[in-house]
Structure 1
Amino acid sequence: MSVEEAVPVTPRRRPAGDPVKALLHRHRALCERAVDPLEIAAGLEAHGLTDRTAARFRHRDVFSLAEELYARTPRGDAPPGPARPARTAAPPAMRRLGYALLPGALVLGASAAGVAWAGPVAVAAVAAALVWPGRTAGGRFPGLAHLLAALAVGWATYRHGAVLAVALALAVLPGYLAAAGYAALARRRLAGSRALEEFAAGARPLFLGALTLFTAAAAGAAALAGAPLAEAVPLAVLLFLTRLLLSHGARGAHRRPVAAALALALVPAAAAAAAAGLLVLAVLALSRASAHAPVGDDRP
């Protein structure tokens, strides 16, 4: 018997496939456009990947998986410079601050002058500014949401008087500041998180804090304008939640529920129910990392 016959030949085991390479191929466009691993992590979460499923790719969480995807993505020799967003961020921010100041100034000026069209001016200004996030995260202009917001504010103003529109106009600036502050704190929290569950646990108190501050400011604006709190505050909160969901909605997925809530607000005394429905959606949606980082094609 030969040596070859004496020694059993064991079949060579094929090396296991590279699951991360397959994932990189599937999300190549996302990985190539990302300027840091956070964008990749948010994009993976938007596609349904969780920390638990990240274990299938031999990683403890989505963030560490995103770091490997970012490191393995081929890039050009020229590093992506962070100066481009920094140059273009200041002028739009100043314009949005001006838009937030404008409604209150217009409405107070029209009311002080005693002009008959103070109510319509307030309606138009509030609908344009309080829910104005520009384009949604999906890159589309939410025209239906703005139209329904204008109808809701106009119908409430018709039923309760111009003081309601004045109160909402005065709440535009606090709404802008609360939304901007919340977005900045949420992104800072995202940068310091190492797991999706960890980020969600820290993001919820930030959102509830911003909502509480805005609700108090809206109540103060209603009291200053002499508007009924039971009518002004729920409608203001509804518009504030609309702003947040449209500006942070992954792939514009929140346009339909926002439109439904605004349509419900057209029913008398239903603004509080509409705001409560959007609040539940906002708590769930804004706790996701993908709501606070640009994702691939979703960049406006």
Structure 2
Amino acid sequence: MTTVDPDTAAPPSAERARRRAAGDPVKALLHRHRELCERAVDPLEIAAGLEAHGITDRTAARFRHRDVFSLAEELYARSPRGEEPAAATAQVPAGPSAYRALGCALLPGALAAAAAAAGQAWAGPAAVAATVAALVWPGRAAGGRFPWLAHLLAAAVAGWAAYRYGTALAVGLALAVAPGHLLAAAFAAGARARLDGSRALEDFADRARPLLLASVAGFTAAAVGAAALAGAPLPVAVPLALLLFLTRLLLRHGSRRGPVAAALALALVPVPPAAPAAAAVLLVHAVLALSRASAHARP
């Protein structure tokens, strides 16, 4: 009579699961990131989420894929989901909401210029408050122990600069809000379009960096014009405006607040090179952070 070893005849469920996972590594990844995969509206969103979790094109090779985008396509295809979200195609704001946003962006400069022209004593503080509210209003930045620290520091930077250099500087910053809004929206739409056309994370990064630098160059030119129109000193007004613009971009695209807060704190140092140095540091961080696909996933 032949005896049957129960361990070989009927492997435990855990052992069978391990064997299936070894034969199908994507299944284990799908289980680990189930929520991301099931709520994603397209494979690109899964690719951005995987990158945010540290999975690179090199890592994707362990799952038998040439890159993260290919891996994301399989995860998307294998994820159960109900009906597709109706808002999946609404990538760029359009219609009345877009016009309202543009109107809000134009308002700080108009109010600040009008108050300064009328000789109102509150023109400077009002311009600072409006500028900070419009440029660095909370986006989807990553959380932390002090979620409002970056915004309070931005207000301190603009307020301290206006106190030291006068109302003209505050008005110049307020006038830069509108071009900052337009260029930030154009960058977001352009980055999303490049993400749609990319097939690898490095490919997207190579496409996104020139777009970001072009947006920064465009805003710098606009900030020069705004400062000249307001009669503000260019060596002070332009770096400060650029610092606030980069703060807006990073917070709106989910960047961690720590590096942003550190750059803003550097700008508070009462020496002339502080603001240009802070803007340069934040620009380097922005080039690294905003060339990641995860920075452009839908919130």
User: Which bracket does the TM-score occupy, shorter chain normalised?
Assistant: 0.7 to 0.9
Once residues 87 and 212 of structure 1 are traced to their aligned partners in structure 2, the CA distance between those partners, rounded to angstroms, is 22
Equivalent pairs: percent with the same residue? 74
Of residues 141, 148, 154 in structure 2, which corresponds to 1:149? 154
Q: Paired residue for 1:100, among 95, 101, 105?
A: 105
Structure 2 residue 194 is the aligned partner of structure 1 residue 192: no
Residue 81 of structure 1 deviates from its aligned partner by 2.6
Q: 1:31 to 1:85 in 2, by over 3 A?
A: same
Find the counterpart in structure 2 of residue 68 from structure 1: 74
Secondary structure, aligned partner of 1:158: helix
For structure 1, which runs of at least 5 residues remain unmatched after alignment? 1-13
Equivalent residue, structure 2, for 1:265: 267
Give the Cα separation in 2 of the matches to 1:79 and 1:185: 24
What does residue 282 of structure 2 align with? 278
2:215 pairs with one of 210, 217, 220 = 210
Tell me which residue corresponds to 1:26. 32
**Aligned CA distance change for structure 1 residues 27 and 123 (closer, same or farther; 3 Å):** same
Instruction: Kindly indicate whether the alpha-carbon contact (under 8 Å) linking 1:135 and 1:142 is maintained by their aligned counterparts in 2.
Output: no
SS in 2 for 1:52: helix
Does 2:274 align with 1:287? Answer: no
> What is the aligned partner in structure 1 of residue 48 from structure 2?
42
Of the three residues 29, 44, 57, the one matched with 1:51 is 57
Q: Which amino acid aligns with 2:267?
A: A
Aligned residues of 1:31 and 1:69 also touching (Cα < 8 A): yes
Amino acid at match of 1:56: R
Deviation at 1:98, TM superposition (A): 2.0
Q: 2:124 corresponds to which residue?
A: 119
Distance 1:84 1:195 in 2: 22
Whole-Å Cα distance in 1 between the matches of residues 73 and 149 of structure 2?
A: 38
Paired residues, what number?
277
The Cα shift of 1:95 comes to: 3.2
Cα gap change, 1:46 to 1:83, in 2 (>3 Å): closer
Deviation at 1:108, TM superposition (A): 1.1
Q: How far off its partner does 1:143 sit? A: 2.2
Does the CA-based 8 Å contact 2:41-2:88 persist in structure 1? Answer: no
| Cross-structure match for 1:4 | none
Relative distance call for 1:123 and 1:214 in structure 2 (3 A) is: same
Corresponding residue to 2:168 among 147, 163, 167: 163
CA separation of 1:259/1:22 partners in 2, compared to 1, >3 Å: closer, same or farther?
Answer: same
1:21–1:89 CA distance, 2 compared to 1 (3 A)? farther
1: CA distance between counterparts of 2:140 and 2:30?
27
Cα drift, residue 203 of structure 1: 0.4
Q: What amino acid sits opposite 2:165 in the alignment? A: H
1:107 alignment partner AA: A
Q: What CA distance in whole angstroms lies between the structure 2 residues aligned with 1:143 and 1:262?
A: 13
Q: Which residue of 2 aligns with 1:233?
A: 238
Counterpart amino acid of residue 47 in structure 2:
A
